[in-house]
Structure 1
Amino acid sequence: MRVMALQGDTLDALCHRHLGTTAGLVEKALALNYGISLHGPILPLGTVVELPEVPAPSIGAVVRPLVQLWD
C-alpha cells in the first residue's frame, strides 16, 4: 500500500494510522523503503511511503473482547 506523508509525519505514525499497529511493521516499512531513514525522524511533506501488508492472525490466536471502563 502506498501512502503519502503529511506535515510532521513519522514512519511509525504512518504505520499506526493506516495499518492500526506498529508491532514489527515499522521495521518492514524501513526495509521496503530503502534510504527513507536519510530524511530523519520527520518525513518531508508529500513523501511517498510503501507500507507492508498486515499479517493475518494465526488460526490458533485467541481474540479477547475489548473491555471499556465506561460505556
Structure 2
Amino acid sequence: MPRSPATTARGPTAKGRPSSERDGRSADKAALITGAASGIGWSTTEMFVREGVHVHAVDRDREAMGPC
C-alpha cells in the first residue's frame, strides 16, 4: 500500500514539518555522509540537517565542499 505524502519522512506533514522531526526519530542521531559535495550525498546531507540530525559530511573534493 503506498504511503501518503503526509506520512513519508521526506514529505511535509499537516504541520509543515517532516514526520521524523515531528515524532522525534531524529533526536540524538548522527550521520557520516561520504561524497557529500554533490548529487545524492549533497541531497542526503541537506535532508538530514533539516531533520535535526548531527551530520559529518566528507568528500575527497575539498574545494567543492566549501568552507568548514
Larger Rg: 1
- Structure of greater relative contact order (alpha carbons < 8 Å, 6+ residues apart): 1
More helix by share: 2
TM over 0.5: no
TM bucket normalised to smaller: under 0.3
TM-score by length of 2: 0.22
Give the TM-score taking structure 1 as reference length. Answer: 0.22
